[in-house]
């Protein structure tokens, strides 16, 4: 059974650096076919794909955010970490991590609501 | 980036109705298209992948079709639990992108 869960701060101040952790179980992030992605959703708005990391290490970012994002994995801890620098109130959103299979996100975490405010 | 445009943005329907939602890609995404259902306060759930393949556990009243740039999701007979927001997503190339969503409301 695949499960994922996001953790991290729920309130950060503008210009700070945000670190979110996705802890997963039920699969190993060690092969080229397996990947974990991050998707966010501002309140009342649509989903936005942010980043993806494959088990073999390949990484992809949203072009609009790639200069502010870093995605890493810790295979020994079954974790994927998303770091976002210089956060702004427009980054207020629910952040989800999800297991990617064949290009699609078949298992999602419950999400974590992040508020950026001074 | 490939833009995904859904229509309508919202639709009202009754239990038992047949509903179709459309998703159009700005470029050819071949068969790399998925549909998700999201209810308030919940994470999205995968319904359909590879244009027309039902994800495990998804009821057969959901179906989908299309290719290239034009895709549809059909719910054959709406059930009370189907009232939600639906998103399409392409996986043809990076960056992946989602449609803006279609909110399915009770009439």
What is the three-state SS of B8-76? CCEEEECCCCCEEEEEEECCCCCCCEEEEEECCCCCCEEEEECCCEECCCCCCCEEEEEECCEEEEEEC
Q: Report the gap between the CA of B104 and the closest CA in chain A (Å).
A: 14
Average pLDDT, chain A: 97
Size of interface A-B (CB pairs under 8 A): 61
- How do strand A59-61 and strand A93-101 relate by DSSP bridges? unpaired
Tell me whether residues B91 and A111 touch, CB distance under 8 A: no
For residues A8 and A18, the answer to whether their CB atoms sit within 8 Å is yes
A106 vs B1, B55, B100: nearest CB: B55
With CA atoms as reference, report the closest residue to A8 among A94, A105, A66: A94
Residue A32 pLDDT: 85
Residue A51 pLDDT: 98
B46 vs A49, A96, A106: nearest CB: A106
Terminal C-alpha separation, chain B: 36
Residue B78 pLDDT: 96
The band of B75, judged by pLDDT with boundaries at 50, 70 and 90, is very high
Residue B107, pLDDT above cutoff 90? no
Average pLDDT, chain B: 97
What pLDDT, in 10s, does the model give residues B81-99?
999 999 999 999 999 999 9
For range A14-33, the mean pLDDT: 95
Residue A7 pLDDT: 98
Q: Could you identify the residue written with the tokens 């994002």?
A: A69
For residues A54 and A61, the answer to whether their CB atoms sit within 8 Å is no
Residue A69 pLDDT: 98
Residue B79 pLDDT: 96
What pLDDT, in 10s, does the model give residues B25-72?
999 999 999 999 999 999 999 999 999 999 999 999 999 999 999 999
B49 → chain A, closest CA residue: A104
What pLDDT, in 10s, does the model give residues A32-90?
889 999 999 999 999 999 999 999 999 999 999 999 999 999 999 999 999 999 999 99
The band of A20, judged by pLDDT with boundaries at 50, 70 and 90, is very high
3-state secondary structure of A111: coil
**Does the CB of A48 have a partner CB in chain B at under 8 Å?**
yes
Tell me whether residues A49 and B96 touch, CB distance under 8 A: yes
Q: Determine if the peptide bond prior to B43 is cis (ω within 30°).
A: no
**Does the CB of A21 have a partner CB in chain B at under 8 Å?**
no
Chain A partners of B34 at a C-beta cutoff of 8 Å? Answer: 103-105
Tell me whether residues A105 and B46 touch, CB distance under 8 A: yes
Residue A98, pLDDT above cutoff 90? yes
> By CB neighbour count within 10 A (0-12 exposed, 13-18 middle, 19+ buried), where does B30 fall?
middle
DSSP state of A17: P
For residue A16, give both structure tokens: 């700070």
Chain B partners of A105 at a C-beta cutoff of 8 Å? Answer: 34, 36, 44, 46, 89
For residues B25 and B3, give the distance between their C-alpha atoms in angstroms, rounded to a whole number: 6
């Amino acid at each position: 059974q695949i499960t994922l869960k996001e953790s991290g701060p729920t309130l950060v101040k503008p210009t700070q650096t945000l670190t979110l952790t996705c802890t997963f179980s039920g699969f190993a992030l060690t092969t080229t076919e397996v990947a974990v992605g991050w998707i966010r959703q501002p309140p009342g708005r649509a989903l936005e794909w942010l980043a993806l990391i494959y088990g073999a290490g390949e990484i992809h970012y949203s072009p609009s955010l790639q200069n502010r994002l870093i995605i890493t994995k810790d295979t020994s801890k079954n974790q994927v970490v998303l770091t976002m620098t210089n956060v702004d109130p427009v980054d207020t959103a629910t952040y989800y991590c999800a297991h990617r299979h064949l290009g699609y996100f078949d298992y999602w975490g419950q999400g974590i609501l992040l508020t950026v405010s001074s | 980036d490939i833009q995904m445009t859904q229509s309508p943005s919202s639709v009202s329907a009754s239990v038992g109705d047949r509903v179709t939602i459309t998703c159009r890609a700005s470029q050819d995404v071949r068969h790399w298209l998925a549909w998700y259902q999201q209810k308030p306060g919940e994470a999205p759930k995968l319904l359909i992948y590879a244009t027309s393949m039902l994800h495990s556990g998804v009821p057969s009243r959901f179906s989908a079709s299309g290719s290239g740039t034009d895709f549809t999701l059909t719910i054959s007979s709406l059930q009370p639990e189907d009232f939600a927001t639906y998103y399409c997503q392409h996986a043809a190339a990076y960056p992946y992108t989602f449609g803006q969503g279609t909110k399915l409301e009770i009439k």
